[in-house]
Amino acid sequence: MTDASTRRRALNLILLLGLVSLLGDITYEGARSISGPYLALLGAGAGVVGLVAGLGEFFGYAFRTVAGYLADRLRSYWLFTFLGYASLLAIPALALTGHWLAAAVLLTVERLGKGLRTPARDAILSHATAHVGRGFGFGLHEAMDQVGAIIGPLLFTVALVFDGERGYRLGFLMLLVPATLTLLVLGSAWRREPEPARLEARAADGHPGSGWRSLPPVFWRYTVFSALAVAGLAQFPLIAYHLGHRQVVAELWIPLLYAVAMGVDGLVAIAAGLAYDRAGLASLLLVPVLTAAAAALAFTAAVLPVVIGVVLWGIVMGLVETNMRAAVGDLSPRDARGLAYGVFNTVFGLSWLAGGVTMGLLYRFGASRVIVFAVALELLALASFRWLRPALFRRPAGSGATY
């Protein structure tokens, strides 16, 4: 088969997986945007709402290492991806709930499904991106993903405007359509490319085999850098809390600022990916620099610096979701790709969760403490980047760089 034909197959697979993520995000982000008010409507208190959100994210991330390892061992990337996306059907099932406990279980099931599918899906994606540039491929996927993240909440808003509180049930039922389409498109991707690993040649000078020992030292050093960088990245709910608590902007504008950040994330994703394909991991030096700047601006009490800080936050998210994911494919052997993405995503998620909790506690003593914490962690991230070998500054090869 010619290189042009293989490249076309790879690009088609990336587009199909991008469409899967777009439809999946319409489903999940649509529900996520109102899950708190819906739980409250069913009788849950603020503590329960926070606990459900926190546990869902924790389990979703903690399960990823196991899911990635099993996907590698069983060579069943598509199976784990299908099982994970099938959990999206828990979202429209929320229309049938009448008690907050049932709704909490369904929301947690969806998060567990995300933990199940993400390492396997990213492993499949990494094989396809080897032929178009990993940065560009992951950037294209992220851009499509963000389109869904914007459409979902808008759909639910229409349902609530149309039918008030009863619009919750209508909104969840509407989400059955994208949830079902997600599985249908995923099935099409599987039929077109049942063995995606064949799209990527096994590197002759890489790290052969699978399992923990096959992951090279540079992968672990990179994971440490990433963990420090994201631990200092403020989560948007804390930024939103600051804006409302300090009355920096009217509450009506806070969701709009989040939409702006998500739009910037999507717009930056492809450009960030192309930068990775040209500069390799050197492009990720922007993450700690921009993260520190975003915190310093977003946690002020003036509108213009806050807006700039939110835009920078969106740029960082574009870099994190594109370049950090792309790099894992270049730093891990083909046959341990699921484990590599599982480990990376688990460490990434738990670090971000720990950083977010710490920032929330520090905010009680003033926004300046949050800024100092964020800047300190980003300085540590920059220092840890020196542990990575100089070869990381090379431009990645078209079929995936070997480090």
Question: In this structure, how many other beta carbons lie within 10 angstroms of the beta carbon of residue 60?
Answer: 21
Confidence at residue 398, expressed as pLDDT on a 0 to 100 scale: 47
Residue with tokens 């099931």: 109
User: pLDDT tens digits, residue range 15-63?
Assistant: 999 999 999 999 998 888 788 788 888 988 866 776 787 788 788 888 8
Buried b / exposed e over 235-268, threshold 16 CB at 10 Å, is: bbebbbebbeeeebbeeeebeebbebbbbbbbeb
Confidence at residue 391, expressed as pLDDT on a 0 to 100 scale: 47
Question: In this structure, how many other beta carbons lie within 10 angstroms of the beta carbon of residue 213?
Answer: 9
pLDDT surpasses 80 at 359: yes
Residue with tokens 């542990």: 387
Classify 395 in phi/psi space as left (phi over 0), alpha (psi -120 to 50) or beta. beta
Judge whether 139 and 274 are in contact, CB under 8 Å: yes
Residue with tokens 């209508």: 170
Confidence at residue 189, expressed as pLDDT on a 0 to 100 scale: 97
Task: Name the band, by pLDDT with cuts 50, 70 and 90, for residue 392.
Answer: low
Confidence at residue 401, expressed as pLDDT on a 0 to 100 scale: 40
Please indicate, yes or no, whether the overall pTM of this predicted structure exceeds 0.75. yes
How would you class 382 by CB atoms within 10 Å of its CB: exposed for 0-12, middle for 13-18, buried for 19 or more? middle
User: pLDDT tens digits, residue range 57-111?
Assistant: 788 888 888 998 999 889 899 999 999 999 999 999 999 998 999 999 999 999 9
pLDDT surpasses 80 at 399: no
User: pLDDT tens digits, residue range 336-351?
Assistant: 888 999 999 899 988 9
Rounded percentage of the chain residues whose pLDDT exceeds 70: 91
Q: How far from 357 is each of 116, 354, 374, CA to CA, in Å?
A: 24, 5, 13
Bigger pLDDT: 19 vs 240: 19
Confidence at residue 201, expressed as pLDDT on a 0 to 100 scale: 66
User: pLDDT tens digits, residue range 295-315?
Assistant: 999 999 999 999 999 999 999
> Which segments within 234-339 are labelled E, that is strand?
none
Angle at 307 between CA 304 and CA 312, to 5 degrees: 125
Judge whether 134 and 56 are in contact, CB under 8 Å: no
Among 78-87, 256-265, 320-329, the minimum mean pLDDT is found in 256-265
Q: Domains along the chain?
A: 3-192 (1.20.1250.20), 212-393 (1.20.1250.20)
